[in-house]
Chains A and B, each alone.
Chain A
């Protein structure tokens, strides 16, 4: 079955350029993030380039510091690399948590139906209409010294209902398929049906759920940082933008501090959206793609 999933994935990617492009951009960024410690080390050349007063303040971009330094004399290129990996991590953490929670809730609600579905759907519905951002702001006002993981969990609380809603409606349409009935008369149990009959056909939707929540989380954190309410001790791309704005970096010739994070975020946004749209393109309205050769 793992092989089946792999071949299905490969075929899906071949079927959509958009999906492929999105995944490539994403892959490059993930690689950069994975190697960011090495890159940061190389830039520091023995010392920590993002230590306060590592270099002179406000150095303009040049051979020594490709993107210059900031108000504390930290190397901007090194900071951006590190921040990129933080942003991606928050996306991954929140994406995984929201997707797992969303998938579980969606499957229980969609498959079991009845009052269980009623309660779960009402709950999801409430979370969906709560204005998320103000609440995040309120929450982060309390959470000054939180870890990256905790921020991820915080954001996930608001992100999972989106995944749950999309996947539930798919479960509803799949669970009345004849092959589910056939599995039932073959003595398959509910959990087995969910995992082996429904889940594989829902992979693309789960992918969409993951990409959307990751995107939401990354930009949620950027949003918090940009208005200066980010949790302490976490330097993501938004934090660098915030620094650039508050210190007037643009007027001091330190434009990369502002421009580079924004370009990276735009790329990330574009890549995740291409993945989303690509998946939907391949699988909607019919699930034909999975059926494949």
Chain B
């Protein structure tokens, strides 16, 4: 397994209508690197529309950046040889935000696990595959008999999201790209999920890029944090430093916007709306695909 994943000057622009120059820059000259060892958790925090998911898609090779490059083991992920590509795929795996949309409603949930077994040749027999699947489900504290053979809508969001973790557990990638994996889970399930991620780090040596808009989860996970706004990373450092001595005004704003549980410190200051205003999220499909011109 290659030991480093690096973004070098990544820029991602999208065509957009109704913007000054016809483009929006979702990711603007972003550089950072993730090391496989020692395993670490790096959080990427920023408000909605700041470009977090786009970075995740760039890193996962789902979207080719308009400029700059994503390097895996020092090589551009869009220029890998077959063998290198296979290794990269196995080694960099996602957990996505929406635990429902991640499953094709047409199939039972088992399918995503079997696909992993099949595509990455994790087992040579069906029995061995099943054993692997059951082992991984137990590793994320799911009872195989409660989830296997079910359709996605028959499981809770937490169960579905843990199936994704079981998939990651089976693949043992060096890098997990987790794009707001807990934002749709309630507090208790959320914590459970984060604990599993931390286990993965210590027990299986996985490095996680943890994307979130929620500072309390960043705090819980610890490690390093990068703050992103308007496509640019404006601050980075150990969580405790960034949380206690924020240097960039945006980080301060973000910290100020956390509601305080202390009743004497009620959340009184209003957030300046224009400062937090998101780039308008025109429907991506719309912007990308103009209707067929009628002649």
> Is B256 at the interface (CB under 8 A from chain A)?
no
- Chain B residues with Cβ below 8 Å from A185 are 60-62, 89, 92-94
Q: Are A126 and B86 closer than 8 Å at their CB atoms?
A: no
> Is A292 at the interface (CB under 8 A from chain B)?
yes
Shortest C-beta distance, B63 to chain A (Å), equals: 10
Bound-state CA distance A291–B109 (Å) is 12
> Is B102 at the interface (CB under 8 A from chain A)?
yes
Bound-state CA distance A183–B120 (Å) is 12
Q: With contacts A125-B294, A179-B103 known, is A186 near B285, CB below 8 A? A: no
Bound-state CA distance A183–B62 (Å) is 11
Q: How many residues in B have their beta carbons less than 8 Å from beta carbons of A? A: 36
Contact of A182 among B94, B106, B293, B295 (CB under 8 A): B94
Listed stretches B111-119, B128-136, B270-278; interface member: B111-119
- Chain A residues with Cβ below 8 Å from B107 are 4
Within 8 A of B (CB), among A160-199: 165, 172-173, 176-179, 181-188, 197
> Is B22 at the interface (CB under 8 A from chain A)?
no
- Chain B residues with Cβ below 8 Å from A184 are 62
Q: With contacts A113-B288, A178-B101, A187-B89 known, is A291 near B116, CB below 8 A? A: no
Shortest C-beta distance, A211 to chain B (Å), equals: 21
Q: Give per-residue flags for A102-145: 1 if the beta carbon is below 8 A from chain B beta carbons, else 0.
A: 00000000000100010001101110110000000000000000
> Is B104 at the interface (CB under 8 A from chain A)?
yes
Q: Are B119 and A188 closer than 8 Å at their CB atoms?
A: yes
Q: Are A122 and B151 closer than 8 Å at their CB atoms?
A: no
> Is A290 at the interface (CB under 8 A from chain B)?
yes
Q: Which among B92, B115, B289 has the greatest number of chain A C-beta atoms within 10 A? A: B289
In the complex formed, the residue of B with least CB distance to A203 is: B106
Q: With contacts A124-B292, A178-B102 known, is A293 near B151, CB below 8 A? A: yes
Bound-state CA distance A200–B108 (Å) is 13
- Chain B residues with Cβ below 8 Å from A291 are 105-106, 151-153
Q: With contacts A176-B285, A188-B119 known, is A121 near B292, CB below 8 A? A: yes
> Is B72 at the interface (CB under 8 A from chain A)?
no
Bound-state CA distance A102–B102 (Å) is 28
- Chain B residues with Cβ below 8 Å from A173 are 285
Bound-state CA distance A8–B107 (Å) is 11
Q: Which among A113, A129, A172, A291 has the greatest number of chain B C-beta atoms within 10 A? A: A291
In the complex formed, the residue of A with least CB distance to B101 is: A178
> Is A239 at the interface (CB under 8 A from chain B)?
no
Bound-state CA distance A187–B105 (Å) is 20
Would you give 11 A-B contacts (Cβ < 8 Å), ordered by A?
A121-B292, A125-B294, A125-B295, A126-B295, A172-B285, A179-B104, A182-B94, A182-B96, A182-B112, A186-B119, A290-B106
- Interface residues of chain A, those whose CB is within 8 Å of chain B, are 4, 8, 113, 117, 121-122, 124-126, 128-129, 165, 172-173, 176-179, 181-188, 197, 200-201, 287-288, 290-293
A-B pairs with the 7 shortest C-beta distances?
A: A291-B105, A121-B292, A125-B292, A179-B104, A200-B106, A178-B101, A178-B102
